[in-house]
Chains A and B, each alone.
Chain A
Amino acid sequence: MFRNSSIIALIALAFAAGCDDKATSTSNNNTNNGVDAGGDASADADSRDPVEQILPSTNARVKFKGGQRWASQLARGLDLERSELCKEFGEYDCAADVHFIALGGVEPYNLRINEPLPNAPLTAPIAADRIALSACGLRAERDAANPADASLFKEIAAAPADEALRAMGNRLYQQLLSRDAQNDELDELVAFWADVEDAGADAASEWATFSCYAVATSTEMLFY
């Protein structure tokens, strides 16, 4: 419902502005979400937004954030202690120990690795997945167990309404990516509910865990 109305509004805006096909297409994906400072999504915000044209960089260069920095940011965003983020066998810290080198760490004293690996090894994205799944699962579990005191998924409930999903989704973006989610990003998160609905009583927790995972392991979160 939201998605359809957004698209119609954007097409209308594009025509009104005399955009070419390319600009129209780009603007569809990049409309500001119209979320207010309190974190609640506003459905009619699209009509107020200017059309924004995104131009790809002609010299795109990014830097991997590094496992330690990313993990710290993840812990802060999910309101978890850094030490409880992820432990292999409940004992060995994932980011600071087990997957430290794969995620760009250096260890000159014993391993004689003085520089971060020049390219990500095969295991790096998998290690990031493990850390994010552990952390997101823990956050969802805690918030589901005590919604009144939830720090991220405050609206977590058996069958949250679209508005509740949008609010949680936006808070996820704010806490992990330090920005508001765009409307089209929130649309995707709302649509994702259908993918977890079959989990029954666990659906809300599953939605929270996997939505968090998707944002936490996105390239926007891992690189800068």
Chain B
Amino acid sequence: MPKLDRRNFLRGAGALGVGGALGLGSTPFKAQAADEDRTRFLIVLAAAGGASIIDSVMAIRASESANPTTINTFPDALVQSVNGSPLRAVDLDRDSLGAIPFSFQSVQSDFVRKHYNDMMVVPTQRTSVNHAIGQRRSVTGNEIWAGRTLQELVANEFGADFAIPNAHLSSGSGFTDRGTDASLPAHVFGEPITDPLLWPLALDSSKGLSRPFDAGRLAKARALRGKLEQRSKFNQVLGEADKLKFWQHLRQEPREAVEARDLINKLLLMPQSTKFPLSEYGLAGSDAAQKARERFPLWEEDPLEAQAALAYLLLRYRVSVSVTLGPSFSVELRDGKSINDEGALLNPPIAFDFSHQGHRSVQALMWQRMYRVADGLIDLLKSEEYANGESFWDRSMIYIATDFGRTKTRPANSDEFSTGHDLNNGVLLISPLVNGNKVLGGVDPNTGLTYGFNPSTGEPDVGRTMEESEVFAGILQALGVDTSPARLPDMRAMRKA
């Protein structure tokens, strides 16, 4: 029987309140109540700037379109089909990124060939072409569940026993906005991690400092602090302030929980080096960090790889049930390189949104970045046993969230062109929990616009578009989150049979 602790109690109260408040129609989907371990992990891979679905898994061959020269179609030879799967891939070489001279190769087919059984494409019709709003709605389903985010809901459902249920490894975007439901317990809101390399140092009060501190005496000093605070007039007058009480709460059980698990050593990514002399500071790192560094070798240069490496550690050590990561809007270059150096560019300015300058090349490069990170995470999570022969990956989902789509047209026959923001698009979900090897709905090759599907059967429906709330519901339901309190629609077609 599940224990009724503070977190469970608050969770139940929050869910009950919201369900009533929404007052929506009945819902057929309800997760099974079972004593089994239902823990699931959500990885939000935030494709900031507008990842166009027709530049990856829904790419259109020129021969399929009545308007091949003016719609964003590809020469047939560039669009790969994999093992008879409906999922597509674009493989191309470029020697510039918009106006930036930069040679690179994008081979999407490697990823699709490897993971197509776990890949599902869901068309969407978004409701805003504003970056911040589109990003936020991609994780709130356009505020359908009292403004709760997917990450908060997953943390609320599965994160009660996790030290930091909802980790935000990227910052400053709508993907990591705080939801608007204040009734949720505090621990489900995102913990910001702005520097994946040094952040783990903030997981222990005294380890890794320049001089050792006796743990027993530190505990007594904390007791002394409590006594001094009791006697302080400041505390006697203002002790009921929410911020004070919350601070005092954080420095007790939550702090003890992370310190007791030695997370500072487990989550530090870097090895012993002159730059990071771990042993000099009484630190050791972990074997799993070594594994993460091998899979993400640019961890020290590319912030996205550092985020991915730490995301793996957070999941593998059961610290978090939801991690959000993504490329920044800043130019990232290899250490010591200038933008004109061969292979120097890691991340273009404004990420996917640099498609304003060079759509085809930017989409190719950025999708390659997304796939590289997703591939690394999947491999690492597959290599870790969760329990009873099940891997962490068996319980995980990668949601490549994005702001919106890109415009579908181009000047006649242009190979590089500028695109704007478009409401029409689709998202990619990768997980053993979804209806894999599937493109739900479809794309009209004559317009480049995607269309929807029947939520129950998955049959394509040319006259239908999928709402943000439907994608939101389908993600939660595939993860086993009970969506009945919010009476979300049943998206049966998005779940594994």
Contact = CB atoms under 8 A, between A and B. Distances in A.
Interface of A: 26, 29-30, 54-57, 60-64, 86-90, 92, 98-99, 101-102, 107-108, 110-114, 117-127, 129-130, 133-134, 137, 141, 182, 184-185, 188-189, 192, 195-196, 199, 206, 209-211, 213-215, 217-220, 222-223
B477 to A, nearest CB: 30
A219 B209 contact: no
Given A107-B194, A214-B228, A120 B243 contact: yes
Given A57-B240, A98-B201, A219-B235, A125 B247 contact: yes
Given A101-B194, A195-B221, 4 more contacts: A60-B237, A122-B255, A122-B258, A209-B213
Nearest to B187: A122
29 contacts: A29-B230, A29-B231, A56-B239, A60-B239, A62-B243, A64-B243, A90-B210, A92-B198, A98-B195, A98-B198, A98-B202, A101-B171, A101-B192, A111-B194, A112-B171, A113-B192, A122-B164, A122-B191, A123-B199, A125-B255, A126-B202, A130-B209, A137-B210, A195-B217, A199-B214, A215-B228, A217-B225, A218-B232, A223-B241
B240 to A, nearest CB: 4
A133 B213 contact: yes
Interface in B202-233: 202-206, 208-211, 213-214, 217-218, 220-222, 224-225, 227-233
Contact of B247 (A92, A137, A214, A222): A222
B322 to A, nearest CB: 15
A112 B211 contact: no
A209 B220 CA distance: 12
Contacts of A89: 275-277, 281
Contact of B225 (A26, A98, A126, A214): A214
Majority-rule SS of A interface residues:
mixed
Nearest to B222: A214
A108 B224 CA distance: 38
Contacts of A124: 247, 250
Interface string B251-282: 10011001100000000000000011100010
B450 interface: no
Nearest to B252: A125
Interface string B307-339: 000000000000000000000111000000000
A90 B210 CA distance: 7
Nearest to B198: A98
B235 A134 contact: no
A26 B213 CA distance: 35
Q: Which 8 A-B pairs have the closest CB atoms?
A: A112-B172, A210-B221, A129-B205, A123-B202, A125-B251, A60-B241, A214-B225, A220-B234
B171 A223 contact: no
A61 B287 CA distance: 46
Contacts of A111: 171-172, 194
Given A127-B202, A192-B220, A185 B232 contact: yes
Given A99-B202, A184-B231, A214-B224, A88 B171 contact: no
Contacts of A122: 163-164, 191, 250, 254-255, 258
B388 interface: no
Contact of A196 (B217, B238, B277, B329): B217
A101 B169 CA distance: 13
Contacts of A189: 224, 228
Contact of B224 (A87, A123, A211): A211
B16 interface: no
A100 B333 CA distance: 24
B340 interface: no
B145 interface: no
Contacts of A211: 221, 224
B236 A220 contact: no
Contact of A188 (B201, B227, B237): B227
A117 B229 CA distance: 25
A92 B235 CA distance: 33
Contacts of A199: 214, 217
Nearest to B264: A126
Nearest to B225: A214
B233 A57 contact: no
Contacts of A30: 231, 233, 236
Contact of A112 (B173, B186, B224): B173
A211 B189 CA distance: 34
A56 to B, nearest CB: 6
Contacts of B202: 98-99, 102, 123, 126-127, 130
A185 B224 contact: no
Contacts of B258: 122, 126
A88 B211 CA distance: 11
